[in-house]
Amino acid sequence: MEPVFIVGAGIVGLTLGQALKQKNIPFKIFERDATPEARGQGWAITLHWALEYMFKMLPEATLSRIQDVQVDPDVARHDNGNFLFINLETGEPKYKIPPNRRWRVNREKMRRALLCGIEEHVHWGHRVTGLSLPEDEDRVHLLFQNGSAVSGRLVVGIEGSRSMVRQILRPDSFNNVPLGINFTGVAVDLTPEEIQPLRDMDPLLFQGCHPRTGVFFWFSMLETPLVNGTANTIDERYRAQICMSWPEEGPNDKVAPTDEGRLANMKQRAVGFAPFLQHAVDQIPTGTPVTEKSTSLIGNVSIGITITGG
């Protein structure tokens, strides 16, 4: 049996690889990065409705490794699966998704967990440059930037919102569509006292929107003192993710070119938030790196998903 080719060794690509291995279906994964550590994988991800399917697709050992990389193991033991959307002006919950099981996990650690057991199937440093589907053959051919080529039964493109597979298959409509929404975010270390008002709202994550300005706010945990090794020390700290997005309606709404400018913009847009939320943004230290994302056949390859799920 000829193999299935998976383009992209991210979380979804590796999950598919694990599932194919469970079914004894031959496969190969091709990843453009030279090594697993070549590029950051983001901060954290919430496994919610997908958990049901992951329990069916993944072996118990892999599920156990993923469960072990939750950002807050203590909360995970008693988590009620809360999802809050709040009014940023009042700080009061506006919508509450019915509770359900969720795992909030570190993205890079989850990727490493998914690699275990299928390492030999992943081919690093393979950037796709060509794909052909001859009409007289029941197979597909992949070409790579390094000059190599392979033939197999099926190709699944899972290499993100700038997918080369999508570009090759749909040269007429592969571009992402800008939404006119800008985004910046930080990962910040907080003392137990600094983070407590946020964790009082929800110990793992919450989000919200300001009714008058349209500014969106996202908070989630990245590390607890138990995870980062600072528990019961004078340097005890939590690490959290704070993100904001807003409509671009004019020149003043563009993302600044520097970390300093981006952070100043976040603090300015937090004016009018409920006091505990405005304080959370105001206390982000000067010099903090501020990431920027202009939001505009699986996952982001087939339908580009905006930050925080839209």
- What would the pLDDT profile of 96-106 be if each residue is shown by its tens digit? 887 778 888 98
Cα(first)–Cα(last) distance of the chain, in Å? Answer: 40
Statement to judge: residues 159 and 278 lie in one domain: no
- pLDDT for 274 beyond 80: yes
Other C-beta atoms within 10 Å of 133: how many?
A: 11
Q: Above pLDDT 90, what percent of the chain?
A: 58
Is there a domain that residue 303 lies in?
A: no
- pLDDT for 213 beyond 80: yes
- pLDDT for 294 beyond 50: no
Is there a domain that residue 91 lies in?
A: no
Statement to judge: residues 226 and 196 lie in one domain: yes
Which of 73, 43, 107, 66 is closest to 231 using CA atoms?
A: 73
Mean pLDDT calculated for residue range 257-278: 96
Is there a domain that residue 118 lies in?
A: yes
Examine the fold and report which residue of 118, 143, 175 is the final residue of a domain before the chain moves on: 175
Q: What is the pLDDT of residue 255?
A: 92
Q: What is the pLDDT of residue 138?
A: 81
Q: What is the pLDDT of residue 304?
A: 44
Q: What is the pLDDT of residue 167?
A: 77
- pLDDT for 238 beyond 50: yes
Q: What is the pLDDT of residue 305?
A: 47
Q: What is the pLDDT of residue 297?
A: 39
Q: In what order do the strands lie in the sheet with 149-152?
A: 128-132, 140-144, 149-152
**DSSP string of 84-134?**
EEEETTTTEEEEEEPP---EEEEHHHHHHHHHTT-GGGEEES--EEEEE--
- pLDDT for 253 beyond 50: yes
Alpha carbon 301 to its chain's center = 14
Alpha carbon 134 to its chain's center = 36
- pLDDT for 291 beyond 90: no
- pLDDT for 39 beyond 90: no
Give me the residues paired with residue 291 across strands: 185
Statement to judge: residues 259 and 207 lie in one domain: yes
Residues in CB range of 127: below 8 A, 6 or more apart: 32, 144, 145, 146, 164
Q: Which domain holds residue 233?
A: 181-296
Residue 86: which pLDDT band, with cuts at 50, 70 and 90?
Answer: very high
Report the distance separating Cα 307 and Cα 310, nearest Å.
6
Number of domains in the chain: 2
Model confidence pLDDT, tens digit, residues 129-146: 888 887 767 888 888 999
Cβ atoms of 101 and 80 within 8 Å: the answer is: no
Mean predicted lDDT score pLDDT of the chain: 87
Q: Above pLDDT 70, what percent of the chain?
A: 90
Examine the fold and report which residue of 118, 141, 175 is the final residue of a domain before the chain moves on: 175
- pLDDT for 219 beyond 70: yes
More confident residue, 270 or 177: 270
Is there a domain that residue 310 lies in?
A: no
Is there a domain that residue 305 lies in?
A: no
